[in-house]
Structure 1
Amino acid sequence: MLSDFLHEYFLKLSIIVAVFGGAFLGIGIGLVMRAGAALDGIEVLALYTLKRTSFTITEIILGINIIIFSFAALKFGIETSLYSVLTYFAATKTIDYVVEGIQAYTGVTIISAKSEEIKHQLVNNLGRGITVYKGERGFLPGKFDVSADCDIIYTVVMRLEMRKLKNLIYEIDSEAFVFANTIKEASGGIIKSRVKH
């Protein structure tokens, strides 16, 4: 009974150490990389590979480490290897926040029948610049001939503003089609809110 309790205790402790150890490791690596330096060969290889692929630094670091841990699993066992993968997974997520910042940008595309009101709210309430594409909506499954002209609105917001933006859109049009993608780099235009409070 005591051995079962100790086994369960050390299992939980190992998971906590893997996650929080990875987070602290990510903070350290992220701060170093944000300064333009590297700690070891993996970061150097990641920075070198970054210029030649479409992967992010953290995806490259995680990929290289998974390969290394796969070979390590043959010698040290699969359980130890999986804890290491968990540690580096937590580290890569933390590196993303440290290197790119909490204020990472998100590109949002909005298609709505009430686009005029949404445009007005985005510019005047959120203080965001928008780009409007002229498009045509095709809807009703099996009846593509039913279509209508529409404005396709594109804007860039900070990650922390996404919930506010969605709430604003769905208050106006609960049927609006909204999709977003992370932007790795943004400059120029109206990126930060221009609304005066």
Structure 2
Amino acid sequence: MKYISEYAQILFGIILASIGLKAFLLPNGFLDGGVTGIALLVNELVDISISYLLVLFSIPFIILGYFTVSKRIVIKSIISIITLALIIEFENFETITDDKLLISIFGGLFLGAGIGIAIRNGSVLDGSEILGVYLNDRFGVSIGQVILLFNIILFCITAIILSVEVALYSILTYIVTAKVTDLTIEGFEDFIGVTIVSKKYELIETAIMEELGVGMTLYKGTRGLGSSGKTEDIDIIHTIINRIDIKKMYRTVNLIDPNAFIVEFDVNSVKGGVLRHYLDKKKNKKLPAH
């Protein structure tokens, strides 16, 4: 059932990506970044089906992926790319709008959502990410920098061969695609890490669990009091909460200790307890401290 669910979601992502391409970008000559962008650019210059070009230009990246990522991801990606090419080849979606701004935004939205859903389920629709992983592993170059440089070159070529206007709209499409892809992969939750140092740590621990319902990690620490040299053993509170709850957390701590030292930092990825808490919150379940 897990594998069926993964492939069903990948298929849904492929359909969304094909809508973005066939209903928005292709009829209007707009490009995206990565391998898809290369295929679209070449399709503007020569009379070769975009489906063939997608498969052709993906082959080098798939071969590269064979040596850099798991074989399971490679197999899923091959199936996904071929399926996307077939849908583009045989399905004719009606052109929805001629407005260039809407084409860029919604074409990028559908394409980004499709790519994001595929990546969340262990597949790749665009090989430029594999190139980024390879160069990062081989030379220590940032994956983001590799993809950005790859697309800067692509859009510069677009501006020279086609037009500056098409290149600018294509950049907008790429930005929307990238942001929607990230949002789809990471989800809509936005978490923040918080570290709290206070003499009244016991009261704050209890209040956070009761008012916010989140778990926490406690560190044994020593509280310094500046040049006076006085110290005091305390528990340092470390927890992760949804950004929506951050103001409530500050109010809760401030009522107990207005002088509490609070450090707030962004969290890129969360697995386990906190995510489980936000899912179980609707069921009024309390999670223990962790």
TM-score clears 0.5: yes
Judge which range, 166-175 or 125-134, deviates more: 166-175
Confirm or deny that 1:80 pairs with 2:162: no
Q: Following superposition of structure 1 onto structure 2, how do residues 72-111 of structure 1 map, counting pairs within 5 Å?
A: 72-103=158-189, 105-111=191-197
* Contact kept in structure 2, 1:61 and 1:92, CA below 8 Å: no
Deviations 1:28-53 (A, max 9, x none): 11112222122232243245457676
1:38 to 1:171, Cα distance in 2 relative to 1, 3 A: same
Per-residue CA shift, 1:10-34, capped at 9, x if unaligned? xxx4333322221111101111222
In structure 2, distance between residues paired with 1:121 and 1:60 = 46
List aligned pairs for 1:146-165, cutoff 5 A: 151-157=235-241, 161-165=242-246
From 231, 255, 265, give the equivalent of 1:180. 265
Partner of 2:248: 167
Of structures 1 and 2, the larger Rg is shown by: 2
Q: Deviations over 1:158-178 (max 9, x none)?
A: xxx222233232343166534
> Secondary structure of the equivalent of 2:110?
helix
1 CA distance for matches of 2:224 and 2:164?
51
- 1:172-192: CA deviations, max 9, x gaps? 3166534121232534x5652
Alpha-carbon RMSD: 3.5
Higher helix share: 2
Q: Specify the SS of the correspondent of 1:192.
A: helix
Letter in 1 for 2:247: K
Distance 1:105 1:54, change over 3 A: farther
Q: Distance in 1 between matches of 2:206 and 2:135?
A: 43
1:121 maps to a residue whose letter is A
Q: 2:75 aligns to what?
A: none
Shift of 1:92: 1.4
**Secondary structure at 2:227's aligned position in 1?**
coil
Tell whether 2:227 aligns with 1:145: yes
CA distance in 1, matches of 2:274, 2:238: 13
Q: Answer yes or no: is the 8 Å Cα contact 2:208–2:252 preserved in 1.
A: no
- Asked whether the equivalents of residues 107 and 183 of structure 1 are also in contact (C-alpha less than 8 Å), the reply is no
Task: Write the mapping of 1:183-194 to structure 2, written as runs, cut at 5 A.
Answer: 183-187=268-272, 191-193=275-277
How many angstroms does 1:120 deviate by? Answer: 1.5
Q: Tell me the matched-pair count.
A: 175
CA positional deviation for 1:117? 3.4
Task: Read off the aligned partner of 2:156 and give its amino acid letter.
Answer: S
Task: Name the counterpart of 2:117.
Answer: 31
**TM-score where L is the length of structure 1:** 0.66
Please give the secondary structure, in 1, of the residue aligned with 2:125: coil
Separation in structure 1 between the aligned mates of residue 119 and residue 173 of structure 2, nearest angstrom: 18
Quote the Cα distance in structure 1 between the aligned partners of 2:165 and 2:222. Answer: 53
> TM-score, with normalisation over the residues of structure 2?
0.48
Distance in 2, Cα, partners of 1:25 & 1:170: 41
Task: Tell me, in whole angstroms, the C-alpha distance in 1 between the residues paired with 2:210 and 2:186.
Answer: 28
Distance 2:164 2:224 in 1: 51
Distance (whole Å) between structure 2 residues aligned to residue 59 and residue 170 of structure 1: 40
Indicate the SS of the match to 1:145.
helix
Preserved CA contact (<8 Å) 1:128 1:191: no
Could you tell me which of 29, 42, 47 is aligned with 2:128?
Answer: 42
Deviation at 1:130, TM superposition (A): 1.2
5+ long unaligned stretches in structure 1: 1-12, 139-143
Residue deviations 1:97-118, cap 9 Å, x none?
Answer: 2222224654333345654433
For 2:171 and 2:126, locate their aligned partners in 1 and report how far apart those are by CA, in whole Å.
18
Residue aligned with 1:183, SS: coil
